[in-house]
Structure 1
Amino acid sequence: MTHARTSVALACLALGGLATPAAFAQDAGWYAGAGIGSAATTVDDERIRNGLLNQGLDPVSMAEDEREAAYRLFGGYQFNRHFGVEAGWFDLGRFGFAASTFPAGQLTGDVRMRGINLDLVGSWPLTERLSLLGRAGLIYAQSRGSFGAAGAVSNPYGVTSRSERDWGLKLGAGIGWQLSPAWQLRAELERYRISDSVGNKGNVDVASISLVYRFGASGSMQRVATTPGAVPGSPGAQTGVPGAAGTMSPPPGAAASTAPSPAAAGTAPSPSTAPAAPAAPTTRVQFSADALFDFDQATLRPEGQRQLDAFAQRLRGVRVDGVLVTGHSDRIGSTAYNLRLSERRAAAVQAHLVQAGVAAATISIRGAGETQPVTTPADCKGNQPTPALVACLQPDRRVEVEATGTR
């Protein structure tokens, strides 16, 4: 049996929302997944017929099984948004044939193919959710064949079963659809160059659908449209979060600014109403994104976690009305990618604040991308991501956390 090139038709996915304005960024980290699909090959019936003719037999009919269900399990590590490495186990199914002859006889055979693979996987984000995928790798496969002969036919293989283990190559391409930061759906076409159990080498083509889970990613893709400087749930409010002396000092490594409250400006409560709870100015803390994250990443560094823990500590004992987390990026890269990166960084800060004890219902997030830079083109010249430009644009890479509340 040999496996010649086959064309495999892959149904197109219905992809809604391809015009979304941001590209999804895959962060570094581990992932795992499972897939199911259809494997196809071509039985070399001409070789089988010639073998029967050499025995003085006339082939009458040939039944072939050239398509089987395929399965795979895999895990990998994503180095950045473009490259990762993946290892897995695959089962391509069982392929076979049954040939009838005159004088009366029958020759049957089948082969099952399983193995392991190691691939280099590349991805290229196109939109917020859609990415192109490509892969190349090595396989180590076992092909186990079974053969039978009856009537006037002699078994040309000399044995009723044979097993072959060999190295081969694998290529593939496809698309990935991001269901959430943690879950991705993949549709792929792959070609396995593999040996069968009687020494022939050929191709098995596989069309598959896979579900991938990324460990440590946020479970939802949240986007909140808010007005800068205002916290949802308290429109126009400028009540503050008191610290030890009525205002909250920023954690180490963060800058803070405050806006005066009506009480601080001398406005007295109406005589007909009860005195309001003590309030302090709105506190806005600005964190350097480079202190919280590695460059071009959205996974919190240990130092960034400590800064956010210090911020959350100052919120304890305070009735928090709202916390607005705004992510910003520099101008390096596409506008769509930078917007999504700023949103993911804001989501990472939100997730850590919740772990640190801040009520999830009080936190809203937004991504500003590169739209609110601190630097100017005259300050930081150039468009290529040189070390000098990356360093100059550092102030633009930031996360602002604005908290309002009462004692």
Structure 2
Amino acid sequence: MKMNKITQAISTVALVGMILPAMAEEEPTGWFVGAGGGASFASIAESDITADLFAAGFETTEFSENDRDFGFKLFGGYQFNPNFAVEGGYFDLGSFDYTANTNPDGSLSGALKFSGWNVDLVGMLPLSDRSSLFARIGVHNGRTKASFESSGAVNVQTSEYRSREVDYKIGVGYQYHLSEAVSLRAEVERYRMDDAVGNSSDIDLLSVSAIYRFGARQQSAVETPPAARTRTQTPAPAPPVAATQEYCSALEIQFEIGNENIERANREHMLVLARFLTKYPQTKATIEGHTDNVGNEADNQRLSQQRAQSVANYLVSEHDVAVQRLTAVGYGETRPIADNRTVAGQQANRRINAVIDCAEDVAGLSTLPARTTLAMRLEFDTQDSAVNTKYHRRLENIAKYLQLNPDLIVTLEGHSDNATPATAQEKSQTRAQNVADYLVTHFAVDRSRLNVEGFGATRRDTYNVTASNRQENRRVNIVLGYPE
């Protein structure tokens, strides 16, 4: 009967884990390890102990117990989706003891220690993109070690007791993500254990745990503002008259590794910049190019100049901005805005800043807002091209947005990691095409509104050093925009 209840509870948690993903924010998946510790509380079976003494002809005159200790656990697991994980590990719930004084004069003392191995199913309910509630149900192979001592008239027949048995454990708690890689938990768990006097009793563990997720990008939970730039924009002069308002515009776009080409999403952003420059023909702009610190310093200097010049050339050729109004300057790796020791920091430092003169306009600025752009990432496993169902909700939102905005089109850009050029190109094209087919099949998106492009391994987001880096490069970007 006990095992049937355990099986039913495990099935319930598994069912919840399959139902809840549609309600959840996206969270990290994959392997993780953790460790925790805290206060443990045992239920000492005082009534059973005194009853056994009474049956042997002794009246208990005083009973004292130490039912608290420090417990800890070491664990690892796999997060399948935002709502379901499996964990297993080792636990040590600590040591507890009691002493019973008797009449006739004597005493009985017992010391107990509990530990074991466990496997749990964990169901999670996200409260936000960083926090969630969770519950667990599991089984454990628990070990009870007990030793007994007596004095006076009391005689102990067995001084040592050892047992192992399979029983259940449950728990509830709260989890907070400090970053994509590191999380903290506070939880309470109840372990059902052999109490060495013929019963099963409860031992509770109130613990705080730290978790590390493998393959996650390091990013602080509290975003630290980028370091102040040496130059952000030309200071605005005081308005000459009360009716005059001043407007400044600035552009910041990022580049892929070793690439000076301008991505589609960035071209959308530069349209607003071009409109600003067209509206205010007296203004000038300095295009500043920057890189990360990976590679040769001289090469980075050259690459930053090329990136700045690419933006200037684009504004001239595509938007008819006068060349004499644009100055391209490369700063190489000398002006980082983020920590180059992290992948995210390197990507932030591969950028272009456009520093633009302020303009005066009594009537007010009337340039159109930026056209809708979205570089939504869908990541893939090494040899996989199928669309993961975890992206279903986000793709459904894209489809709904397209229904509300019939003038928008979608470009699906497929990318790969460091496979051979032919394989990478084929795989990237297939991934992008599969996303297009998914939108058509599941959400009836008009295929004529979907453009599919494969770029192979030519547009990396990160360096292909680790498995996590390579997975970031295996992606499809979804870019929304208007027809040219």
Match for residue 249 of structure 2 among 216, 230, 236: 236
2:349 aligned partner: 361
1:116 aligned partner: 117
Q: Give per-residue Cα distances to partners, 1:270-314, cap 9 Å, x unaligned.
A: 9xx9xx99x79x9xxxxxxxxxxxxxxxxxxxxxxxxxxxxxx99
Secondary structure in 2 aligned to 1:50?
Answer: helix
Q: Does structure 1 residue 34 correspond to structure 2 residue 22?
A: no
Q: Quickly say closer, same or farther: Cα 1:269–1:240, change in 2 above 3 A.
A: farther
1:166 aligned partner: 165
2:8 aligned partner: none
Which range moves more in the overlay, 137-146 or 175-184?
175-184
Contact 2:25 2:128 in 1 (8 A): yes
How far apart are residue 97 of structure 1 and its match? 0.9
Q: Return the alpha-carbon distance in structure 2 between the equivalents of residues 92 and 132 of structure 1.
A: 23
How far apart are residue 47 of structure 1 and its match? 1.6
How far apart are residue 99 of structure 1 and its match? 0.7
Matches within 5 A, 1:99-138: 99-138=100-139
Contact 1:174 1:188 in 2 (8 A): yes
Matches within 5 A, 1:57-136: 57-136=58-137
2:402 aligned partner: 375
Q: Quickly say closer, same or farther: Cα 1:398–1:46, change in 2 above 3 A.
A: same
Letter in 1 for 2:349: A
1:208 aligned partner: 207
How far apart are residue 51 of structure 1 and its match? 1.9
Q: Return the alpha-carbon distance in structure 2 between the equivalents of residues 141 and 172 of structure 1.
A: 16
1:248 aligned partner: 261
Q: Return the alpha-carbon distance in structure 1 between the equivalents of residues 189 and 131 of structure 2.
A: 19
Secondary structure in 1 aligned to 2:129?
Answer: coil
How far apart are residue 236 of structure 1 and its match? 2.6
How far apart are residue 177 of structure 1 and its match? 1.8
Q: Return the alpha-carbon distance in structure 1 between the equivalents of residues 139 and 99 of structure 2.
A: 32
2:49 aligned partner: 48
Q: Give per-residue Cα distances to partners, 1:167-216, cap 9 Å, x unaligned.
A: 01111111112222222111111111222334421221221111112222
1:318 aligned partner: 304
Secondary structure in 1 aligned to 2:249?
Answer: coil
How far apart are residue 36 of structure 1 and its match? 1.0
Percentage identity across paired residues of the two chains: 30
Secondary structure in 1 aligned to 2:48?
Answer: helix
Q: Quickly say closer, same or farther: Cα 1:159–1:218, change in 2 above 3 A.
A: same
Q: Quickly say closer, same or farther: Cα 1:71–1:102, change in 2 above 3 A.
A: same
Matches within 5 A, 1:174-323: 174-221=173-220, 233=232, 236-237=249-250, 248=261, 259=271, 317-319=303-305
How far apart are residue 147 of structure 1 and its match? 0.6
Q: How many residues are matched?
A: 297
How far apart are residue 159 of structure 1 and its match? 1.4
Letter in 2 for 1:375: L
Q: Give per-residue Cα distances to partners, 1:331-369, cap 9 Å, x unaligned.
A: xxxxxxxxxxxxxxxxxxx999975995643559x9999
Q: Quickly say closer, same or farther: Cα 1:49–1:24, change in 2 above 3 A.
A: same
Q: Return the alpha-carbon distance in structure 2 between the equivalents of residues 241 and 56 of structure 1.
A: 84
Secondary structure in 2 aligned to 1:375?
Answer: helix
Letter in 1 for 2:136: R
Which range moves more in the overlay, 94-103 or 108-117?
94-103
- In structure 2, runs of 5+ residues without a counterpart are 1-23, 234-247, 290-298, 309-337, 353-373, 377-393, 409-437, 452-475
Contact 2:169 2:191 in 1 (8 A): yes
> Which structure has more RCO (C-alpha within 8 Å, separation ≥ 6)?
1
TM-score scaled by length of structure 1: 0.59
Q: Quickly say closer, same or farther: Cα 1:395–1:182, change in 2 above 3 A.
A: farther
Bigger proportion of residues as strand: 1
- In structure 1, runs of 5+ residues without a counterpart are 1-22, 227-231, 283-312, 322-349, 402-407
How far apart are residue 69 of structure 1 and its match? 1.3
Give the alignment's Cα RMSD to 1 decimal.
Answer: 4.9
Q: Return the alpha-carbon distance in structure 1 between the equivalents of residues 255 and 205 of structure 2.
A: 61
Q: Return the alpha-carbon distance in structure 1 between the equivalents of residues 83 and 116 of structure 2.
A: 26
Contact 2:118 2:138 in 1 (8 A): yes
Q: Return the alpha-carbon distance in structure 2 between the equivalents of residues 117 and 357 of structure 1.
A: 39
Contact 2:95 2:114 in 1 (8 A): yes
1:17 aligned partner: none
